[in-house]
Structure 1
Amino acid sequence: MSRVLVTGGASGLGAALVAQFVAQGHQVLRTDIGTTFAGDDGPYLRLDVRDPADWDAAVAWCDEHWGGLDILVNNAGIATGGRIDVETLDEWDRVVDINLMGVVRGCRAFTPVFKRQRSGYIVNTASVAGLIHPPMMSSYNTVKAGVVALSETLSHELHPYGVTVSVISPSFFQTNLADSFQGADKAMEPGVRKLVEKSPRTADDIATVVLAGLAKKRFLIIPDRPARVAYLTKRWARPLYDRQMRKVAAKVHQRAEQAHQTHG
């Protein structure tokens, strides 16, 4: 039985991971930005991944109640995106602070614990956007690629201490992630919401594959077929991949031109 901390655990993939860890008999500390949580499947701690003091409190909680931690799941994140000349620098700062630096802070907070134990498992939620890079998503692609790079770096850096690292890279699945979209590029949100809401995959589907991958200690966990196809297309059929990405860009350009002409 492992001691597990999950960030962003109140909804979406985080909640699904919590439920499946609990079902397997693990002790789980669910964390999120709310002050309280009404669930009944274990303890809850408020943790804003942007706040180093909250991370210190999480380490202290794990030390006090469990004597350490076995699995850290850096899952909290937000949706963002937009054309490079439309998305604001404040939006860039926000998504970097949450989706990338939130993961960095978590890894920094618990690495001393894992080194002391000479064991541990870091699980970072990225996205297929960390592996392939569609147009109009530069900020999201950038931070998720950073999470993949950080994860690979730590998989080597912390190996001498008995620490395993995995990174999760799903494509769109049914979740409330689109609700966090606050971008200035209003043309992006409907498309993101449609991709999320029309996906046949649920957070539970993704969590099931993720836990199977963790059991095998796979570094890169791509838990759904569309993500795997996109990743393999980029690796082995780059001209096809480039054509697909540029078709997407051309469609957005066309819609933007039509909107400009309509509104004058």
Structure 2
Amino acid sequence: MSKQKAVVVTGAGSGLGRALALHYAHQGWSVAALDIDRAAAEATAQAVMAEGGDAIAEAVDVRDAQAVEAAAAAAAERFGRLDAWVNNAGIASSGTVADAPMSQWQTVLDIDLLGVVRGARAAIPWLREAGGGHITNVASFAGIANPPGMASYNVAKAGVISLSETLRAELADDNIHVVVACPSFFKTNLLATSRTVAGEAAPEKPQAMEKITEKLMARSSFTADDVAAAMYRAAERGQFLVVMRPDLPRWALKRASPELFFKMVRRATRAFIQPRPGQ
């Protein structure tokens, strides 16, 4: 077995996924870059190799369990081991519970939640064989805050947090550590990717919410590189939950006073709720 550790990163073709792949490579890891866009996955693998790392690229849709499992096997065969798996692939969405089409719900949950399940199931046998390792799941602060107008995304990401807690308990005796990252907005191409994959037109009010989201991303005080570094540190230190420093006060408020947090969210997002007929 190779002495150099190996990681699989899903959604590695751009944004946080590429930042994660490069950060692991900088720490001496071999990287399997998975993405639904083959060219993007290959570009990330080339970026890793350009900096002296070892990498492979696989075109994988996380909705396809067989493809995910095959990518895990390909990575283990190429690198001789598999020590970590990062479930990063995901899309964003907008729309309320009442207005978002069911097809959007099905797509978002299939990618953002069940895609993580498929990744974990593919990774666990290889990590057990290696004697341990870690699984890192990318959720979102939306899964904690649950703002209106992002219903299917909120539910999927809250599910990822719950899934991660479950995996943490189930895998502890296997020496497999679980990390869940809940960053808020930072500059990425998540919205553009979601529009392409989900293919659903959002109601007028949530479209306005998307514009605000884009502004918040642009104004964020942390970057994809910052999030990647925080996630890696958490895995190395055995930390479960990753909340970025600017988000800590809101996280603390949600825990200490859920009602006050709810009122704050309601005031901040009132303009983006679809009014009922006659209002």
Q: What is the TM-score of this pair, normalised by structure 1?
A: 0.91
User: What pairs with 1:207-246 in structure 2 (closer than 5 Å)?
Assistant: 207-225=228-246, 227-246=247-266
Kept after mapping to 1: 8 A contact 2:148/2:272: no
Count residues with an aligned counterpart: 256
Moved more, 203-212 or 137-146: 203-212
Tell me the residue number matched to 1:247: 267
Shift, 1:249, TM fit: 4.1
Tell me the residue number matched to 1:9: 12
Shift, 1:56, TM fit: 2.2
1:99 aligns with 2:78: no
Kept after mapping to 2: 8 A contact 1:174/1:200: no
1:86 aligns with 2:99: yes
Shift, 1:116, TM fit: 2.9
Moved more, 60-69 or 148-157: 60-69
1:184 aligns with 2:202: yes
Shift, 1:141, TM fit: 1.0
AA paired with 2:203?
D
Tell me the residue number matched to 1:116: 129
Deviations 1:148-175 (A, max 9, x none): 1111111110111111111011010011
Kept after mapping to 2: 8 A contact 1:49/1:76: yes
Residue from 219, 223, 226 that aligns with 1:198: 219
1:26 aligns with 2:46: no
AA paired with 1:17?
L
Tell me the residue number matched to 1:59: 72
Deviations 1:116-156 (A, max 9, x none): 33312110000111222112222111110110111111111
In structure 1, stretches of 5+ residues that fail to align are: none
Percent of pairs with identical residues: 38
Kept after mapping to 1: 8 A contact 2:38/2:57: no
Paired with 1:60 and 1:46, the residues of 2 have a C-alpha distance of 14
Kept after mapping to 2: 8 A contact 1:178/1:196: no
Kept after mapping to 1: 8 A contact 2:84/2:127: no
Moved more, 60-69 or 48-57: 60-69
SS in 1 for 2:58: strand
Paired with 1:202 and 1:60, the residues of 2 have a C-alpha distance of 32
Paired with 1:47 and 1:230, the residues of 2 have a C-alpha distance of 35
Shift, 1:217, TM fit: 1.4
SS in 2 for 1:122: strand
SS in 2 for 1:158: helix
Shift, 1:212, TM fit: 1.9
Paired with 1:221 and 1:59, the residues of 2 have a C-alpha distance of 25
